[in-house]
Amino acid sequence: MKLNAESKLTLYPLKIHPDKKNFIIEDEATGEFFEMPQICIDAIELINQGKKLSEVEYQLLQVYSSEEVEVIDFAYQLMEFGLVKTVDGQATSVVKKAPSIKGMQWISPKLGKLFFNKISTILYFAFFIMNITLIIFHPEFIPHYRDIFLVDSIVLSVLIYAAISFLLLMIHELGHILAIRSYDLPTKLSVGHRLIFIVLETDLTSAWKLPPRKRNTLYLGGMAFEQVILSTTLLLSIFLNGSGTFWTSILTIIIFDICIKTVYQCCIYMKTDLYYVFENMTSCYSLMENSKDYLSKWFPFLKQKENTEIFSGESLVVRLYSILYLIGPPLTVALLVFIWL
């Protein structure tokens, strides 16, 4: 569908969420989100007033005289995003799909708020500090691969460890689920991967509805639950004082697993929970994708299929992260070798 300066657009219902630097645009029909700067928000508001594209461009130039304003190109981008309903009264060929994230709504937001509130946030942080302190004063709890060998049979030991690790993974995801439900937002659980690691993923797309400060609660919900379990396990292990029983060995496996997973979460060169916290704190969304595009100058195979945009003030963060993205995988391998030596 061709556009010209005289074209008038009708957009689908959009909700605008202010962010730290730009704005998050929510397509209410599909539940998709897009980041846009102030000039785009002004353009959308003028389009919604029924103005021609030429009129929109003229008014924007009065405000943004020092910037390059290409309203027709922006209109095509809106069409590409599926946000344009009609052009000059003629319907576009966009087929809207209902939001796919409607799950877990049977979990009451009140239950979520019981675990995630202002007081619990302080408590979770206190548990984290306590865990670091306990491990510093009890270095015997530093993970080692021998910790997973509960019995003489290697196969049986690995199976027991896998079962415990999976149970802890489910508790981790429960933390994310309760965190997002505390804001009465929907979510769903799926399977994904990080490098060679298979992971369960709680869909936190709805987090974009929230202001940046509140999103971190959702991203850190799983780790918060893990820190409570780790504190309990460490204290029990200290109390039992290495009695060498079956149950102390189980506690050792739990400590090993959570410590390894906590270190893994720090590997933000993968899309871990702390990666999303870092993205949120810097307001550099699509950070990994932008870094891959930046690195594709030297490594063409990293070029992204979808175009991403680096907004003003993000270049330094993207370049620094791209270095971490390059050295990250070797660091992961080195860490695994260190643990298994």
pLDDT at 216 over 60: yes
Sign of CA dihedral 134, 140, 142, 147: negative
Per-residue pLDDT averaged across 249-273, rounded? Answer: 92
Do residues 125 and 220 both lie within one domain? yes
Please report the pLDDT score of residue 310 as a whole number: 80
Q: What pTM did the predictor assign?
A: 0.87
Q: How confident is the model at residue 240 (pLDDT cuts 50, 70, 90)?
A: confident
Angle between helices 38-48 and 53-63 (to 10 degrees): 140
Please report the pLDDT score of residue 138 as a whole number: 92
Euclidean distance between CA atoms 206 and 284, whole angstroms: 18
Query: Regarding predicted confidence, which is higher, 196 or 207?
Result: 207
Please report the pLDDT score of residue 307 as a whole number: 62
Do residues 141 and 195 both lie within one domain? yes
Please report the pLDDT score of residue 137 as a whole number: 94
User: Apex CA 30: angle with CA 4 and CA 205, to 5°?
Assistant: 120
> Among 98-102, 254-258, 306-310, which stretch is predicted with the lowest mean pLDDT?
98-102
Please report the pLDDT score of residue 212 as a whole number: 92
Do residues 136 and 261 both lie within one domain? yes
The residue count for the chain: 341
Domain edge (last residue) among 62, 91, 120 = 91
Do residues 62 and 137 both lie within one domain? no
Q: Does an H or E element contain 253, and which?
A: helix 246-265
Residue 3 inside a domain? The answer is no
In the β-sheet with 32-36, what is the strand arrangement from edge to edge? 14-18, 23-27, 32-36
Number of domains in the chain: 2
Determine what percent of the chain is predicted with pLDDT higher than 90: 62
Do residues 138 and 197 both lie within one domain? yes
Long-range contacts: 117-123, Cβ < 8 Å, 24+? 117/182, 120/224, 121/217
Q: How confident is the model at residue 197 (pLDDT cuts 50, 70, 90)?
A: low
Do residues 29 and 120 both lie within one domain? no
Q: How confident is the model at residue 6 (pLDDT cuts 50, 70, 90)?
A: very high
Query: Regarding predicted confidence, which is higher, 334 or 39?
Result: 39
- Per the CB < 8 A criterion, the answer to whether 152 and 257 are in contact is no
Please report the pLDDT score of residue 329 as a whole number: 83
- DSSP annotation of 337: H
* Identity at 234, one-letter amino acid code: L
pLDDT at 172 over 70: yes
Taking Cα atoms as reference points, which of 178, 220, 186 lies closest to residue 203?
Answer: 186
pLDDT at 109 over 80: yes
pLDDT at 312 over 90: no
pLDDT at 198 over 70: no
pLDDT at 107 over 90: yes
Please report the pLDDT score of residue 313 as a whole number: 80
Query: Regarding predicted confidence, which is higher, 121 or 312?
Result: 121
Please report the pLDDT score of residue 245 as a whole number: 79
Please report the pLDDT score of residue 278 as a whole number: 95
Q: How confident is the model at residue 339 (pLDDT cuts 50, 70, 90)?
A: low
DSSP class per residue in 131-156: HHHHHHH-GGGS--GGGG--SS-HHH
Residue 59 inside a domain? The answer is yes
Do residues 42 and 79 both lie within one domain? yes
pLDDT at 194 over 70: no
Euclidean distance between CA atoms 94 and 252, whole angstroms: 55
Largest CA distance in the chain: 82
Do residues 178 and 269 both lie within one domain? yes
Domain that holds residue 44: 9-91
pLDDT at 335 over 90: no
- Per the CB < 8 A criterion, the answer to whether 48 and 11 are in contact is yes
Do residues 53 and 122 both lie within one domain? no
Determine what percent of the chain is predicted with pLDDT higher than 70: 93
Angle between helices 38-48 and 71-80 (to 10 degrees): 80
In angstroms, how far is the first alpha carbon of the chain from the final one?
Answer: 62
Q: Is 54 exposed, middle or buried (0-12, 13-18, 19+ CB in 10 A)?
A: middle
pLDDT at 223 over 70: yes
Do residues 115 and 69 both lie within one domain? no
> Among 135-139, 165-169, 191-195, 273-277, which stretch is predicted with the lowest mean pLDDT?
191-195
Please report the pLDDT score of residue 108 as a whole number: 95
Domain edge (last residue) among 263, 282, 301 = 282
Please report the pLDDT score of residue 309 as a whole number: 75
Residue 328 inside a domain? The answer is no
Residue 308 inside a domain? The answer is no
Domain edge (last residue) among 242, 267, 282 = 282
Q: Where would I find the H helices in 148-241? A: 154-181, 212-240
Residue 311 inside a domain? The answer is no
Residue 321 inside a domain? The answer is no
